[in-house]
Amino acid sequence: MNGEKRHAIINDHEQEYAGQSRYMAQMDGKNAADETLYKNMEDTKADFTLNKSPANSSTGWVPPIFKPDMQVINLDYRYYQAFLGRYFYGHTPMTDLGGGCDGWAALLNPPDSGVNLFINYSSVSNNSDTYFRAEAWLNALPQGKVLISRLVANSNGAVNPSPCPHAELAFGEFINDRPFKGVSIYSLMVGAGGTASAEPYGKIIIPPGGTYYILLHAPESQKTITVEVAFGWWEERTVSTS
């Protein structure tokens, strides 16, 4: 082997060794950095446990998310709305229908309310010995004389003063026509002496100017019966998308 070739081989080995050395140094540095990071995390954890701030242990300040006595509670969203005083219950007085005339009950959201209504449930109670059909509509216009029920309350009695709803709970009796405008979304058969209910759990949302309308069909027997309609809902401020 001539000297020039031997010199090239030696240079190759030296470069390979130098590369290995640099790699080992990098790994040593990474390991040292990982150990330092782990130690800092443990020190920080210890500081929080002792009610000290890692930034300034002499202050005694602790971010709320690290307070050792803090509890995390998982609330259903509608329960959270009730906690905030935004959830309402209401029902109509006893309402008559029959003799070929229908009735209705509805939640009306005024055009200037500034809130959306989130319908949690509705129920229809039959105080007679004959069945009838109830039909839910979205954004139907009320018919006949519009009566307003005052049987409405906030579900959170601990809020003082008690918030009032923006929505109005309205009802009507002895009408002959189907609703104007709107769309029918489902029907309920209400048995004799029973209650039928629907629970959309907030999936039905009524914007300002809209209605959630329950049409009460008169029984085929032509006899007059008394019914009662109840609603549960919460209200949230509208969000502008412009």
Q: What is the pLDDT of residue 24?
A: 56
Q: What is the pLDDT of residue 51?
A: 44
For 15-73, the pLDDT digits (tens) are 555 555 555 555 555 555 555 544 544 454 444 344 444 444 444 544 555 456 666 67
For 202-237, the pLDDT digits (tens) are 999 999 999 999 999 988 777 889 999 999 999 999
CA distance 141 to 108: 9
Give me the phi and psi of 171, to 5 degrees please.
-155, 165
Q: What is the pLDDT of residue 48?
A: 39
Q: How many CA atoms lie within 13 A of 73 on its CB side?
A: 9
Q: What is the dihedral of CA 58, 61, 65, 67, to 10 degrees?
A: 80
Both tokens of 58, joined, read 């002499």
Q: What percent of the chain has pLDDT over 70?
A: 69
Beta strands in the chain (DSSP E): 87-91, 95-97, 102-108, 115-126, 132-138, 147-148, 152-154, 168-175, 183-190, 195-198, 204-206, 211-216, 225-237
Matching residue, tokens 């085929």: 220
Q: What is the pLDDT of residue 25?
A: 53
Higher pLDDT pick, 204 / 7: 204
Q: What is the pLDDT of residue 50?
A: 42
pLDDT tops 70 at residue 82: yes
CA distance 135 to 240: 32
pLDDT tops 60 at residue 85: yes
CA distance 165 to 96: 26
* CATH code of the domain occupying 83-237: 2.60.120.1330
CA distance 115 to 206: 9
Q: What is the pLDDT of residue 176?
A: 86
pLDDT tops 50 at residue 10: no
| Residues present in the chain in total | 242
For 106-148, the pLDDT digits (tens) are 999 999 999 999 999 999 999 999 999 999 999 999 889 999 9
Give me the phi and psi of 51, to 5 degrees please.
65, 40
